[in-house]
Amino acid sequence: MLSPELRERLRTAFADGSLRVRSVSPDGRVEWCRVQAVHRADVPWETIVSVDTTDGTMTTTAGHRVFTTPTTKVEAKDLSVGDTVLTSREDGTTSTAVVAATRTEASRQFMYDLTAERWHNFTLHGCGIVVSNSPDRNYRFRPPQGEGTVGCYNRVFGYIWEDAELAEYLEMALWKWNMHPPETEELCNINTLCQRKPAWKAALLWGALVNAAQALAYNWVSDEFSVSGDTVVPVYLPDGTRVEVPIAELHDICKGGS
């Protein structure tokens, strides 16, 4: 537990936009980026995984994305023994750590995340693993009543589609198109359709949108949000003071808790 004085310094730095967290740029440089927000989510239905590496352990939701290089990332549940993950070291360099074990943990009520500006990733203390932040691609919809009852269809978690994912929904739309007469099997891929029947692109895009919306409704998407509340994150005050703080405590501080 941090001292009241240090908590107040953290709260003030967050409020005036000077609180920073260690991040990694796409070209592999370690930078200190502004903490824009700290989040807490109800996730009792989410699968929780722990990943042990040669440098330490992290605990996240199964869908939380972990960087393997400065520009690529995978979901935590897809990491296997022998894989490597990107780490950020104390001396300002980056390296990799080898996955030694993975396991499923007990479910929990809350998980946490933060939003770092610019590169949308941050470094975990101890293991040094670089993880994706929220909302890197995530959006969160909630009705006017706010953080209400989760089990009554009043909140949806999901994420905005990346190019590769949108391509899958475009392909689905094309398959459905080819189910109906007149037969158009010769237009068997998106490139061919766009070249030979450019006027049909609007119908294909609409079909992709429907498929994406159905994926959300059916809960096909995995939730990238979040890391365990006891996960320690190194943050930096304006004078350069480094503070290692559990992300749950940081959330409480930034949200105005005493």
Q: What is the pLDDT of residues 142-168, one digit of tens each?
A: 444 444 444 444 344 444 555 666 777
Tell me what pLDDT residue 156 has. Answer: 41
DSSP 169-197: HHHHHHHHHHTSSSP-TT--SHHHHHHH-
Residue 132 confidence (pLDDT): 87
Q: Say if CB 53 and CB 100 are below 8 A apart.
A: yes
- What does the pLDDT read at residue 78? 92
Dump pLDDT digits (tens) for 187-230.
777 778 777 877 777 777 888 778 777 765 555 444 455 788 88
Taking CA atoms, 251 is separated from 10, 113, 215, 229, in Å, by 11, 9, 31, 9
Give 85-124 pLDDT, tens digit per residue: 999 987 889 999 999 999 999 998 888 988 888 888 999 9
The pLDDT of residue 142 is 43
pLDDT level of residue 51 (50, 70, 90 thresholds): very high
Residues 11-34: tens digit of each pLDDT? 999 999 999 999 999 999 999 999
Q: Is 201 helix (H, G, I), strand (E, B) or coil?
A: helix
Residue 101: the pLDDT is 96
User: Would you place residue 54 in the very low, low, confident or very high pLDDT band (cuts 50, 70, 90)?
Assistant: very high
pLDDT score of 164: 66
pLDDT higher than threshold 80 for residue 131 = yes
